[in-house]
Structure 1
Amino acid sequence: MNRFGYTRASDVGEAVHAAANGDAAQFIAGGTNLVDLMKERIAAPSRLIDITRLPLRAVKSLPDGGLEIGALVSNSEVASHPEVVSRYPLLSQAILAGASPQLRNMASTGGNLLQRTRCYYFYDAALPCNKRAPGSGCPARDGVNRIHAILGASEHCIAVHPSDMCVALAALAATVHVTGPAGARAIEFAEFHRLPGDAPERDTTLQPGELVTAVALPREGFAAHSTYLKVRDRHSYAFALVSVAVGLRMVDGTIGEARLALGGVAHKPWRDPTAEALLRGQKPDDALFAAVGEHLVRDARGCGHNDFKIALVRRAVVRALQQAVAGGPRA
């Protein structure tokens, strides 16, 4: 690890000020991803700003009926919180599908949003990687790319976003609250992460010095008809090859509202409103679900080893929609 300075912030303003005054300063909370990156010499912050003492650990109801989750609430606390379990089971399922209990105990809500890709080439400092060293190339395109993107990729990067929680938050249409040198602002979840384009080193739309302070969930949690389906190489402690988060509002046997997001397929959680529109007002059946799956991969492109993901998305979408209509599973 490189040498770095350390600051323990006592309030949000102090944390933001410290970040604004450090060219390569980074916030640290649970450190479940950042510390690994530092050990592998992928990240080399000049200063770590410890935010663990900030008052960002509350889960509270909002006036509009939604729920606000502080950025420092641990993943374990979110997954087991009574309001989340009863009103947003999709989010609880997604969190429990990720990592291990030990990591969930340490990982924070804000940190989960900022996870970096698990691309093999990104994690090997001896190899080129546009995300790590812009302009050096993307060897994954012609290399080992089984876990890589089939949607929204560019010639500069085909890495995928690794979070399970973020796929559920995308389907729920959450809002991310941040504070920075220019003040506070709210970012719709669909706009928080970005596609690689020609700047794959930038994972999010955060501005320099901005700190995630909370995530707000809307009133509608699709509690009666939702599911998180994760397809992976092993049942535990593995990143998704493909995941599907679905929330449905059923009205007299018809789909009144639909939300659907994919994980493991793009540089960000993938939500396509045109696919959701195909479901609204329709009676649920397998032919409809297959059409939605086909629509979602209409622009998909594999790079060889990951070609199988295209067919896998089609099947996973059908299964996830079946489970959501049935009201589960919840485990």
Structure 2
Amino acid sequence: MNRFSYTRANDVSAALEAHRAPSAPFLAGGTNLVDLIKEGVARPERLVDIRRLPIAAIQPSADGGIEIGALATNSAVAYDERIQSRYPLLSKAILSGASAQIRNVATVGGNLLQRTRCHYFYDTATPCNKRRPGSGCGAMNGVNRIHAILGASEHCIAVHPSDMCVALAALDASVRVTGGEGERVVPFDAFHRLPGDAPHIDTNLRDDEIIVAVTLPAEGFADRYAYVKVRDRASFAFALVSVALALKLDGTRIEAVRCALGGVAHKPWRDRDAEAALRGKTLDATTVRDFASAMMRDARGLPGNAFKIELTARAIERAFEQASGISLAAREDDAS
């Protein structure tokens, strides 16, 4: 049994001070950390309970967007009227993940920091570079159906499991953090890391920092959006592939597009060059298929997950149809 001490912090400075001790992770909703402790993957010496910190508010930001406190629960965010009306993509993504019971306690900050659901990461009898650096990657030549097709390395092919983070990436959110060197704002694209040769490091959050809030920009793409999640069952399952799409059209002319993929990489995946190439083009089947091909141009499959490449391309097409309200297949048939 792993014995650990417990500290409850009432303000951010006290939380950061307690967090300085070796192996002293923050405890909020606990929906991921407690599982890791039960499985023997995490073995903390101290838990720093931060549930009383005053960082749970959902409120307007100075630039006209919305700031979501790190301790706001997933349910509070998904059902907030301002989020539902201005950022429905985020609400839909959150409600597609986990169960209602988990969403009621899971926090925004915890969602950003959750670890992969890779089978080998959770099985302490198998090698895993993310759990024990230098031990190898059991998934590489093992059962890899759920694993990465983009941005992976020889050291790790795990994927980030969040639905919420895929939507936040598509919405160009930012993460406000504070720590020993003061406060800073991290663009969402730069918050999570690809595995490289250090897959045990999931994010660019420093050891002495804590997430304070996530900020959404003023533009929420409330009129045209889609969250497509492909999974093995319709309830309480992680995505094999997910697509968060935010779209702005003038008739059938594309003015702006943001597309983030989940279930395919170590972080929510965006390709800003592919997005930029769509601006000014007519939304039709050929345009969307070319975009999907561009998004998948660097994809690499393994025997167990190569099917994800085609699956992701099809999911992107479905997202464009849902966001635009245009049947691309029908338009292609009409053109022929």
State the TM-score, normalizing by the size of structure 2: 0.96
- 1:251: how far off? 2.4
1:191 maps onto 2:190 in alignment: yes
Runs of 4+ in 1 over 4 A off after TM superposition: none
**Within 5 A, what are the aligned runs for 1:78-117?**
78-117=77-116
Aligned to 1:15: 15
Aligned to 2:276: 277
Residue identity opposite 1:96 in structure 2 = L
Q: Secondary structure at the match of 1:198?
A: coil
Listed as ranges, the gaps of 5+ residues in structure 2 are 327-336
- Report the Cα distance in structure 2 between the residues aligned to 1:249 and 1:63, rounded to whole angstroms: 24
Q: Is the 8 A contact 1:17 1:181 kept in 2?
A: no
Q: Secondary structure at the match of 1:37?
A: helix
- Report the Cα distance in structure 2 between the residues aligned to 1:187 and 1:282, rounded to whole angstroms: 31
- Report the Cα distance in structure 1 between the residues aligned to 2:114 and 2:261, rounded to whole angstroms: 17
- Report the Cα distance in structure 2 between the residues aligned to 1:134 and 1:174, rounded to whole angstroms: 31
Q: Secondary structure at the match of 2:301?
A: coil
State the TM-score, normalizing by the size of structure 1: 0.97
Q: Secondary structure at the match of 1:139?
A: coil
Q: Is the 8 A contact 1:226 1:247 kept in 2?
A: yes
- 1:126: how far off? 0.8
What's the RMSD between the two structures over aligned residues?
A: 0.9
CA offsets 1:95-152 (integer angstroms, 9 cap, x no match)? 0000000000010010000010000000001111000000000010110000000000
- Report the Cα distance in structure 1 between the residues aligned to 2:172 and 2:5, rounded to whole angstroms: 37
Listed as ranges, the gaps of 5+ residues in structure 1 are none
- 1:187: how far off? 0.4
Aligned to 1:26: 25
CA offsets 1:172-195 (integer angstroms, 9 cap, x no match)? 010001111111111000000000
Q: Is the 8 A contact 1:245 1:320 kept in 2?
A: yes
CA offsets 1:37-89 (integer angstroms, 9 cap, x no match)? 00000001111100000001111111211000000110001000000000000
**Within 5 A, what are the aligned runs for 1:7-156?**
7-20=7-20, 22-156=21-155
- Report the Cα distance in structure 2 between the residues aligned to 1:130 and 1:314, rounded to whole angstroms: 30
Q: Secondary structure at the match of 2:300?
A: coil
Give the % identical residues.
62
Q: Which sits farther off after the overlay, 280-289 or 233-242?
A: 280-289
1:261 maps onto 2:260 in alignment: yes
Q: Secondary structure at the match of 1:143?
A: coil
Q: Is the 8 A contact 1:16 1:179 kept in 2?
A: no
Aligned to 1:181: 180
**Paired positions, count:** 326
**Within 5 A, what are the aligned runs for 1:148-167?**
148-167=147-166
- Report the Cα distance in structure 2 between the residues aligned to 1:32 and 1:310, rounded to whole angstroms: 30
Q: Secondary structure at the match of 1:219?
A: coil
Residue identity opposite 2:311 in structure 1 = L
